[in-house]
Amino acid sequence: MPIDKSKTFILKSGKCSWGNCIYCGYGKIEGFEPTAENVNRDLDGFFKIVDETTEQIKIFGSGSFLDEKQFPIASRKYLVDLCKKHSIKQLLFESRPEFITDETLKPFKDQDYTVAIGLEIADNKTLKDIKKGFTVEQYEKAAKTIHKNNGKVRTYLLINLPYVKDIQKSLDTSVEFALNYSDSIVLINLYPHSSAKMIDLYLDLKWRPLDRNQFKKVTGKWKTNKKIEIDFETFAFTPRIPEQMKCELEGADEKNLNHPHYEIWQDYFTRFYTPPKVKDTILFLPCAFRKPYSLSKTHKEILKRIQNLHFYARIHQVMISNPGVIPREFESKYPFAHYDWPEWEETEDLKKQYTKVTQRRIEDYLKAHRYKKYMCYFKQESESYIALKNACKKLDIELIQLFDKTLYKDNMPETNVLVKRRALDAMVTRLKKEMKR
């Protein structure tokens, strides 16, 4: 196993002096008071994990390492001394252009260092639209200042920024420009931070992130360039709705069927989510009034019957409801544990809409994810079941219904029919039989 020769120091003092970029939430993070005493103490703690194998120190955080309000000059000098003491060969840190001057770079004159700048895009109009707070010309000046002071320049470019009409053309233009001033470039897929202004565009469905295939296609031209790194996922992305934007999603109506909070999650399940590898069989299940579903009577009874089966780990439980398809591992997250769809409020027209929207969502999910077996446990007349059956038929997928419809002919009461002993017995019997095939 290769030795990691770099260590990363997370800057926790102060906050970004700008903090207005619409895509970034880090710049709003308040750190501890950035006195030299506090910062130096933090550095001392960090260097306890630095050993003789460490060759490079990377400094990341919200804002700029060269900003006196975040990292005092006395602490920068202290850091340089620590690097010398520990024989650190390289130092990398981030800064906005306005803090990059001959004076701020002086402490590093005897150090091999790299300054990373988030240019994002080489277009002044877009930089203004995303409220970046500086221009292409200011970036260019800063890059020249770094090189004049024997430093290296690392440039970040964001792929798929809002307000950009031609992503490919914009990227190629930006890369070609940045290559003139950079020792290295990182092409970064843009994801929305929940505390960033851009989350509004995401929730209004006016912008969405690129999936892996889209990102590869856009960046493919540059993958062989040795000066360029390609970063599809800078952090583990899942949709995160800001607390102040969360709401109770109640009522059987069109709004509670097509809500943007559902749509972005369905897009995530289709384009970014990967089902657990061990789960080769999908079992579609109905929703329940009580949330999370596993706390409901229906799901408790189903789980009680299947959890001890030797093939249980292979079964991927996915619920179907008005938010769409919901894998079991997400049932406790918002909005899936925060909605209510009273079936008695449904009109015939709404039932048709529900079936149509739900079928589309199921089709999208099944096109993206393949399983060896496809099973379900629903009442026959359920709109969710009808949508699932139609989706599987359209995609030429064999769907195995585990609910024995003949039980209805025995005058079994409709209420909670799925948790009746005979229905559950029949489900387990059929499940065992199908898993042996």
What string of pLDDT tens digits covers the 437 residues of the chain? 344 689 999 988 888 999 999 998 776 777 889 999 999 999 999 999 998 899 999 999 888 999 999 999 999 999 999 999 999 999 999 999 999 999 999 999 999 999 999 999 999 999 999 999 999 999 999 999 999 999 999 999 999 999 999 999 999 999 999 999 999 999 999 998 888 889 999 999 899 999 999 999 999 999 999 999 999 987 778 898 988 899 989 999 999 999 999 999 999 999 999 999 999 999 999 999 999 999 999 999 999 999 999 999 999 999 999 999 999 999 999 999 999 999 999 999 999 999 999 999 999 999 999 999 999 999 999 999 999 999 999 999 999 999 998 876 654 555 678 999 999 999 999 999 999 98
Q: What is the pLDDT of residue 3?
A: 45
Q: Which fold does the domain 243-436 belong to in CATH?
A: Rossmann fold (3.40.50)
**Residue type at position 198:** M
Q: What is the pLDDT of residue 415?
A: 65
Delimiting residues of CATH 3.20.20.70 domain(s) in the chain: 6-231
Delimiting residues of CATH 3.40.50.10630 domain(s) in the chain: 243-436
Q: Which fold does the domain 6-231 belong to in CATH?
A: TIM Barrel (3.20.20)
Q: What is the pLDDT of residue 409?
A: 61
Q: What is the pLDDT of residue 309?
A: 97
Q: What is the pLDDT of residue 414?
A: 59
Q: What is the pLDDT of residue 61?
A: 85
Q: What is the pLDDT of residue 2?
A: 44
Q: What is the pLDDT of residue 83?
A: 94
